Amino acid sequence: MPDAWDDIAPAYDRATRASRAHRAKYARLSALVREARVERLLDLGCGTGLLEEHLFDDGYAGSVTGVDSSAGMLVLARAANLGHDARFERVDLARTLPFEAAAFDGAVVVNVLFLLDDPLAALREVHRVLTPGATLLVVAARPQAREQGASGARRGDGAPAAGWRRFWREHFAGATALEAAREAARVAAALPALRATARFRARTDAALAASGRALPGPAEVVGLLDNAGFTLASAEDLPGGESRLYRCERR
Ligand SMILES: C[S@@+](CC[C@H](N)C(=O)[O-])C[C@H]1O[C@@H](n2cnc3c(N)ncnc32)[C@H](O)[C@@H]1O
């Protein structure tokens, strides 16, 4: 079945490549994967394979399996021809992962968790397919001040996260998003990629502000990780200040 991400894939890829903050994010992730001496990496919600490109450019010598539910995102990931150490598979993270227990010794989940209806169940699946002691790196957007204000009263009952997922479906994966993506694609055809990024982001930020929805905060993310069997080793804000990177060990 086609996915909203299929339509947005080219614009997403272009906008993300043009963003200095995103490039810095992949560089940091790549450094941490190599530092942890990961040999069999699983990238959950790999999108267009941008992390994979950075990893191999940086001399990563292991293998990586990128999984994503969007065929359109995967077409672009495969088009990079990263060699036989990079495999891309269509997998829905809402289901049981099609891998054996302990099949991987590292995993990354980059800007994906908040899209899932049941992130805890997905993280428990990640736990199952990792070896004990494996490294898990999670990147999650940090709630902006305005959203924290809008959602503060509802924290604790799960509403902010559910609200954010609804927002994402309605505004990013829905009509507004497709319109924004098409506009970004048109702009990008005529103007430098950087301009496309700015327009793309301005539209999605405006939709977010209008919704008054909230992203899951750091406490919620850390709670999920702990419940799924991961011990937090460190957390850091990424360049640009919009995302936080959580480095964990599988218990
Ligand atoms: C914001 S993008 C991040 C992509 C990539 N991790 C990156 O850093 O560029 C979110 C990705 O999650 C994928 N996704 C959303 N829901 C999913 C699900 N249920 N199962 C698998 N992938 C999913 C989308 O197709 C999209 O590629």
List, as one string, the DSSP characters of 114-126: GG-S-HHHHHHHH
Would residue 231 count as lying in a domain? yes
Would residue 12 count as lying in a domain? yes
Would residue 199 count as lying in a domain? no
What CATH number does the domain containing 83 carry? Answer: 3.40.50.150
Cβ-based burial of 6 (10 A; exposed 0-12, middle 13-18, buried ≥19): middle
Would residue 188 count as lying in a domain? no
The residue segments making up the domain with residue 225 are 4-143+215-250
Q: Of 45, 47, 59, 55, nearest to 13 (Cα)?
A: 47
In DSSP terms, 231 is beta-bridged to 249
Q: Whose CA is nearest to atom 25 of ligand 1?
A: 70
115 lines ligand 1 (CB under 6 A): yes
Would residue 158 count as lying in a domain? no
Angle in degrees, CA 197, 199, 203, rounded to 5: 115
109 Cα to the center of ligand 1, angstroms: 9
Mean pLDDT over residues 30-36, rounded? Answer: 98
Q: Is the pLDDT of residue 55 over 70?
A: yes
Task: Write down the pTM of the prediction.
Answer: 0.81
Would residue 23 count as lying in a domain? yes
Would residue 224 count as lying in a domain? yes
Q: Is the pLDDT of residue 5 over 70?
A: yes
Which ligand 1 atom minimizes the distance to the CA of 26?
8
pLDDT of 136-164, one tens digit each?
Answer: 999 998 765 334 433 333 333 333 445 54
Total domains in the fold of the chain: 1
Is the distance from CB of 177 to CB of 201 less than 8 angstroms? no
50 lines ligand 1 (CB under 6 A): yes
Token duo for residue 103: 């099949």
Mean pLDDT over residues 55-61, rounded? Answer: 96
182 Cα to the center of ligand 1, angstroms: 19
